[in-house]
Amino acid sequence: MTTTAAPAHARTLHVHKGHGTQNDFVLLDGREPGTELDAPLVRALADRRSGLGGDGVIRLVASEALPEGRALLADDPRATQFMDYRNADGSVAEMCGNGVRVTALLARRLGLWDPTTGDLVLGTRAGVRVVRHEPAPGVRADGTPEPDWYAVDMGPWRLPGGTGGGDGDRPGAGPAAAPAGLPDARSSVTVPGLPPGLPGLDVDLGNPHTVVVLPDEGALVAADLTAVPLVEPAPPAGTNVELVLPTGEETGADGRLVGRARMRVHERGVGETRSCGTGACAAALAVRVWAGAGAPDTWFVDVPGGTVRVRVLAGGHVELAGPAVLVADAVLDRDALLA
């Protein structure tokens, strides 16, 4: 006699879909049953043909539900919520800058965060991240407001050798737009469409990045990011590769210098995406390091999906700000999704 085991999970799965500058995510409310993530479920949700589609999948979950969350809570009892982030290929990543903003918006929608009462303190595998709400920066041509922005203290950044952020890490290696022969280059990066073996600077934002500064727009357009770039020596846990083109500096409203750069990115575990928040931070930091003394502390980074702002903060931290948007609530057929 055979018996039919009861399904381990409900046959439906309630999810949310959102993006930050078109870096898009499927999000789940960890309070709902059956939302524990594993690689097959993540891949199915992120699939753009047979699933809902996304660059990553995020579960907003009580920190006490995960070992990584419990470890954070011991150090910072404010971090009661945790961003469990996975790349589209099912791999676990330490951090996602755009994802933090969209997770903050989800926490707000779910009534788990009220920005009028204070900042959101969110646990991640890279540590605690503090999120501040910024009102919509402007209105669109049709008069409707742009989406609200969220500014995230992304914590400390690190260059090769474990050095932290700060002025002491700016050797003044020369103009940002002239990367050849930079003494800070620690990796050699080969991307189809570009000359082989370009110098790349490794920047740690909690997750790994390798930044290549390009000389002109032609190179930015010509780069073929359909395949994983070759980075040598091979980073042990892989890396996200940013191609960045500094496009100018201007004086901001407060009289301080503001830099601007364009970026394309190949994300570890995903492929080319239309934005990467940690990548934008890495790109701005690399350009600033290479530009040397007097380079701006604030950068606007233009990506295919929009614009984010990166600010170097005192104490070796960096801040990422940009929009967050939720576009859908959906109920999926779990069996069909995983079939």
Ligand X SMILES: N[C@@H](CCC[C@H](N)C(=O)O)C(=O)O
Catalytic annotation present for 96: yes
Identify the burial level of 295 via C-beta atoms within 10 angstroms of its C-beta, where 0-12 means exposed, 13-18 middle and 19 or more buried.
buried
Q: Which is nearer to ligand X, 173 or 210 (by Cβ)?
A: 210
Encoded one letter per residue, x for contact with ligand X by CB under 6 A and - for no contact, window 192-211 reads ---------------x----
Q: What is the DSSP string of 166-226?
A: SGGG----S-TT--TT-TT--EEEE-TTS-SSEEEEEEESSSEEEEEE-SSHHHHHH---S
Using CB under 6 A, pick the residue from 18, 30, 147, 277 that binds ligand X. Answer: 277
Query: Residue 153 in 3-state DSSP?
Result: strand
- Nearer Cβ to ligand X (239/298): 239
Of 165, 267, 303, 305, which one interacts with ligand X (CB under 6 A)?
A: 267
Sign of the CA dihedral 99, 273, 151, 205? positive
> Is residue 103 involved in binding ligand X (CB under 6 A)?
no
Q: How far is C-alpha 273 from the geometric centre of its chain's CA atoms?
A: 10
Q: Binders of ligand X: how many residues, by CB under 6 A? A: 18
Q: Is 269 in the site for ligand X (CB under 6 A)?
A: yes
Interface of this chain with ligand X, residues 222 to 241, rule: CB under 6 A: 240
Q: Is residue 274 a known part of a binding site? A: no
Would you say 174 is a known binding-site residue? no
141 burial (CB, 10 Å; 0-12 / 13-18 / 19+) is exposed
* Span from 7-15, 172-180, 217-225, 269-277 in contact with ligand X (CB under 6 A): 269-277
Tell me if 98 contacts ligand X by CB under 6 A: yes
Q: Which is nearer to ligand X, 104 or 173 (CB)?
A: 104
Of the candidates 107, 276, 282, 283, which one interacts with ligand X according to CB under 6 A? 276
Q: Which two tokens stand for residue 252?
A: 């901001």
Closest CA to 90 of 60, 34, 46: 46
Does 276 participate in catalysis according to the annotation? yes
Whole-angstrom distance, CA of residue 271 vs CA of residue 263: 14
Q: How far apart are CA 171 and CA 290, in angstroms?
A: 7
Identity of the residue numbered 263: M
Options 57, 58, 73, 93; binder of ligand X; rule CB under 6 A: 93
CB proximity list for 194: less than 8 A, separation 6 or greater: 214, 219, 222, 223, 243
Report the alpha-carbon distance of residue 151 to residue 322 in Å, rounded.
7
Nearer to ligand X, 125 or 133 (CB): 125
Identified binder of ligand X from the candidate list 264, 268, 288, 311, rule CB under 6 A: 268
Q: Could you say which of 96, 211, 225, 295 is catalytic?
A: 96
Q: Which residues are annotated as a binding site?
A: 23, 87, 97-98, 207, 240, 267-268, 277-278
Just list the catalytic residues. Answer: 96, 276
Which residues form the interface with ligand X (CB under 6 A)? 23, 56, 87, 93, 96-99, 207, 240, 267-270, 276-279
Q: Which residues are annotated as a binding site for substrate?
A: 23, 87, 97-98, 207, 240, 267-268, 277-278
